[in-house]
Chains A and B, each alone.
Chain A
Amino acid sequence: MAQNSPLNVAENLTIRSLSDRNDFRNVYDLSGGYNKFGMIVNILNLPFGGGKQFDTDKYEKSVMGRGHVIAQISAQAAPVGTTMVLTLAPQGTPPSAVDTFRVGDVVVAADHSVSGKVIATVPGSITIEATESTILAMQAAFAVNAYVKVLGDSSPNFYSDGKSPLYEFPELIYNYSAVKRDTYLASRRENISSRIYYKDKFWGDAQLDLMVQRFLRQMEKQMLFSNQAQWTSQVGGLSDMNGGVRWSIINRGGEYLPLASALTQAQFDNFLANVWSRKASRTTPLTLFMGRGMMQHIQRTFTDGYIVNAGSMNTFGGSEVKGIDVRTYAIAGVEVAMVELPVLNDTEFFPELTSVSGLSNPYRQQHTLFALDLDPIEVKGGGLAPAIEKIYRGPSEFYAGYIKGMADAGVPTAENFKDYSVDIVSSVDAHRCDVMADNGIDMIGKFCGMIELIA
């Protein structure tokens, strides 16, 4: 039955409540696409079979350094003729006497114009004799707190004999593969019709895909920032966590520059030099993964000395003016490529502001920089391994299973009800999907470095 009203259509509440909304079935993706590092790690591992599978408690690696024999001098005895005894500062934790010098070793300190030869050793001290220098010069060179180090051997010209042996042993380092889980669970009644759609289906169907995407995004963050740990959790017991990129650099001898003030160009150059010097040679430039804040800081602050009066083309009056965007940097034989790592720019996850003055970009994590050596690591005796190794425990890296519940059961009829059987595995009125990864990365941090703000 029609009703008459003095109100116009727009003001009529009945009509307003019956009015339709615009179609907002498409859900726009505001995540911004923050997966990049995981992709790079995958690419690094492709030539090596995609990842390293193992079945033990830990993923262990043997590593060896350069095996220098070096010690700090803690005391210098008065010379006897042209010889003197040096007491060496104990090394290790707890400290133990240094016993790696051998008779016949030629030793030097900082001043390479003065050398001596080891003529006797006992744990914790060596007796050296003058070679080309006077004992006075040796006293000055091998002073307390100086480092005494073996340059090589010097044996007599006639009837020389062998040396006491010195053995080299690798250091065993390890990392854990970490179990990570996520779950999609939906009751049959949750699967409602909705205005918003996902792939032409109702939004309830999106939750499965969204869960997987969330799982992968979190995995990328863990690759970068997870700390290695094994502990007994109050929830579930023994648990492993994988040491990620940051942990590896800090704990495996990489260069670490924490800053409570703005990075200066001198500090940046020294940092690069220190990272670069960790290897004799590189086949690819060092790759600097950084947040936008660091990229801005470097380009805004460190280009002044290089880009001055580039010409009329680089003025506002010129054509094709594009400003400054420096993506490579080279100094004193050090060549680096600068890459933005979007995950560091995520101000929703990293809302922390820096208190460091002089930085135009206020977000602290955007000033993090990882200097990564992406060259494959050489294996003693031959072979190569990826710079950042994907590791997984068990037969596979990922596991996923769709678990059918009552919501997936079929519809029996009166005729077949008694014999009706379907492959559901739960009587709960729901269905679920579980994903699991038992994986991580393993990275030789020694040839890499990182800079981060700590305030």
Chain B
Amino acid sequence: MNKDINIVLTTAETVVTAVDLAEGLGRILKGADVQYTFPWKKLGAVSKSTGVAGAAGQYTITPGALAADTDYSFYLTQVVGGEIITERITFTSGATAPATPDVVCDAWRAVIAAHVNAGRLAVTAGGTTTLTLVASSVDNYNLTAQEISLAGIVQNQAPIAPVGRGADLLAEGIVDSFPAVGAAAALPVAGLSYSEYTFELMAPKGNGGFNEQTSDQAVLLKVYADEGAPGTNWSDLDAVIDDVIDGTYTAAGLLGSNV
């Protein structure tokens, strides 16, 4: 599999004309100077992924009826560092019933703090008579809770994965493949949200063709566009991609053609 081709559009370069199809060519325009083209008939499929801010999973957990020699427990499951981790959060009352729900919540919080300090969970625990839990960041958004015994669980916020964050793209090593001559390659900007448009195409073979290969090469061309571009620049560009995907692109007599 060939390396992906990445084109990172800066805020100024995210405009409606950044992607167009004309004269048998798909064209990605990066500012005034840089243009990447491919034969339209070599394009297999187009897909897109728009940015999502993400939301950390959030719960309220309430101890059940207070009694002696009783187990108050629930499971917390979270994806931390790529691993699915499940921890049992437990408190067992002694010979006398806990005086208030705070006693149970305090104990739960202490157990959770031990797991957090050990790096096994990434949550923030609060509350007094009830326990409030929130994943400590959207990086560890995927927090779920499940009752074992006498722990009433209410989900206040379903976990939502962040998508297209500039910082994540940077961490993945995304860098523009075609910098202008003498210029530094464009990078995603931390703090911005990007749409990712993926063009699956066969780069032409041949002498002087793609990497001097002797057969057509499957390549993913990925265009990253800043969703915060001024005015309707990004939404206009996004609409163009939608048209390409659903086949209503206005110049598209090209679709399915053999140009």
Contact = CB atoms under 8 A, between A and B. Distances in A.
Contact of B111 (A93, A96, A253, A260): A260
A145 interface: yes
Interface in A58-90: 70, 72, 74, 89-90
Contact of A258 (B83, B94, B114): B114
A91 B82 contact: yes
A358 interface: yes
Interface in B131-186: 139-142, 144, 159, 161-163, 165, 167-168, 171-172
Interface in B30-60: 47, 49, 54
A379 interface: no
B110 A454 contact: yes
A145 B167 contact: no
B115 interface: yes
B168 A260 contact: no
A259 B118 CA distance: 14
Interface in B7-50: 47, 49
Interface string B226-239: 00000000000000
Contact of B168 (A89, A94, A261): A94
B129 interface: no
Contact of B118 (A256, A262, A266, A358): A256
A91 B81 CA distance: 8
A116 interface: no
Interface in A261-284: 261-262, 264, 266-267, 270
A66 to B, nearest CB: 12
A94 B92 contact: no
Interface string B112-134: 01110011100000000000000
A454 B96 CA distance: 20
B95 interface: yes
Interface string A237-273: 0000000000000110100111111101011001000
B92 A261 contact: yes
A206 interface: no
A96 B79 CA distance: 12
B111 A91 contact: no
Interface residues of B, number: 44
A89 B141 CA distance: 10
B140 A93 contact: yes
A35 B6 CA distance: 60
B118 A251 contact: yes
Contact of A260 (B83, B107, B167): B107
A192 interface: no
A92 B83 CA distance: 7
Given A259-B90, A261-B93, A95 B161 contact: yes
A175 to B, nearest CB: 16
A43 interface: no
B71 A266 contact: yes
B136 to A, nearest CB: 11
B114 A94 contact: no
Interface of A: 70, 72, 74, 89-96, 122, 124, 145, 250-251, 253, 256-262, 264, 266-267, 270, 357-358, 454-455
- List the 5 shortest-distance A-B pairs measured between CB atoms, nearest first: A258-B114, A260-B107, A357-B94, A358-B94, A90-B161
Given A92-B82, A260-B110, A454-B113, 12 more contacts: A72-B79, A74-B161, A92-B81, A95-B141, A95-B142, A95-B162, A145-B144, A258-B111, A260-B111, A261-B91, A261-B92, A357-B95
24 contacts: A72-B84, A72-B142, A89-B79, A90-B161, A91-B82, A93-B139, A94-B162, A94-B168, A95-B79, A95-B142, A95-B161, A95-B168, A250-B120, A256-B115, A258-B111, A258-B114, A258-B115, A259-B111, A260-B107, A260-B110, A262-B92, A264-B71, A454-B110, A454-B111
